[in-house]
Amino acid sequence: MNNLSKEKKQQLLLVSIVTLVILAGLWFGFVNAQKQGRLKYIESMKATTDKIAGANKLLLQKAEIDAQLEKDREDLARAESGMSTFNATFSRLISVANDYINKGPTSLAGFDTSKPVEKDVLLLPGRFPYKAAYMNVSLSGYYHDFGKFLSDFENDWPYSRIQNISIGVPAPGDEKLSYQFEVVSLLLTNTAEAGFAK
């Protein structure tokens, strides 16, 4: 190396630097890219293997899932058997209210209701497969009698609820309060049956 001229040494140094630059470029351009691609491929294979294992596990549980689905459908049918259709809701409400008012000593009287109006239920919009009948009701009576009526009604009729209660002050000399409220009853509809049949 000492026998080489200064010019040759510089050329040799330049060739060495260019060679190192080319090798580094090859490393980062090809080898490293291939290594990264291989790592991504291995991760992709692992994800696919995990999906296949999950699918195989579900296939092994198919009979159990089918049995649970059938049980859930039976439970739903049993629950829906307590719901009424739109046409039956109004007469049912009148009958139920009269039963509560007449079944024992109570101050409740003057039961009056509007015709039911069928509306969408504002619960899980667009995904709740039932409609509801909304009815405005008014009656009068002592506070404790109304509380018992409210408790009994909602315990006995799980598909109906009372909301938007407004209590009026009695006239002078009268201890009975006036109550206005809304009864909301879930309705059994064809859309409900179709929604859960899927």
Domain coverage including residue 134: 84-197
In a domain, 7, yes or no: yes
Q: What is the 3-state secondary structure (H, E, C) of 30-68?
A: HHHHHHHHHHHHHHHHHHHHHHHHHHHHHHHCHHHHHHH
CA 187/CA 121 separation, integer angstroms: 10
Phi, psi of 103, rounded to the nearest 5 degrees: -80, -10
pLDDT of residue 71: 92
Together in a domain, 92 and 162: yes
Q: How confident is the model at residue 123 (pLDDT cuts 50, 70, 90)?
A: low
48 and 107 share a domain?
no
Q: How much is the pTM?
A: 0.55
Flag whether 172 is in a domain.
yes
Q: What is the CATH number of the domain that holds 171?
A: 3.30.70.60
Q: Give the pLDDT mean for 59-67.
A: 85
Query: For residue 77, is it within any domain?
Result: no
More confident: 143 or 97? 143
Same domain membership, residue 33 and residue 88: no
Distant-in-sequence, close-in-space partners of 1: CB < 8 Å, separation ≥ 6: 9
Residue 71 belongs to a domain: no
Residue 67: pLDDT over 80: yes
Based on the fold, state whether residues 126 and 185 are members of the same structural domain: yes
Q: What is the mean pLDDT of residues 194-198?
A: 39
Q: Does 54 reside within a domain?
A: yes
Q: At 169, list the tokens.
A: 């002050």
Dihedral sign of CA atoms 93, 94, 99, 101 in order: positive
CA 95, 98, 104, 108 torsion-angle sign: positive
Shared domain for 16 and 88, answered yes or no, is no
**15 and 90 part of one domain:** no
Question: Looking at the structure, do residues 90 and 185 belong to the same domain, yes or no?
Answer: yes
Instruction: Give the tens place of pLDDT for each residue, 98-108.
Output: 777 777 677 78
Question: How many distinct structural domains can be found in the chain?
Answer: 2
The rounded mean pLDDT for the chain is 79
Query: Residue 150 in contact with residue 162, Cβ under 8 Å?
Result: yes
Based on the domain organization, do 133 and 45 belong to the same domain? no
> What would the pLDDT profile of 148-190 be if each residue is shown by its tens digit?
888 888 887 778 888 899 999 877 777 888 899 998 888 876 5
Quote the pLDDT of residue 192.
45
The answer to the question of residue 52 being in a domain is yes
**Residue at 148 is within a domain:** yes
- Is the separation of the CB atoms in 131 and 106 below 8 Å? no
Q: What is the pLDDT of residue 165?
A: 92
70 belongs to a structural domain: no
Same domain membership, residue 19 and residue 103? no
Quick one: 155 and 108 in the same domain?
A: yes
What average pLDDT does the segment 18-40 reach? 80
Cβ contacts of residue 73 below 8 Å, gap of 6+?
A: 196
99 with 149, same domain? yes
| Phi/psi at 187 (5° precision) | -110, 145
Report the pLDDT value the prediction gives residue 2, as an integer from 0 to 100: 64
pLDDT at 146 over 80: yes
Residues 94 and 32 in one domain: no
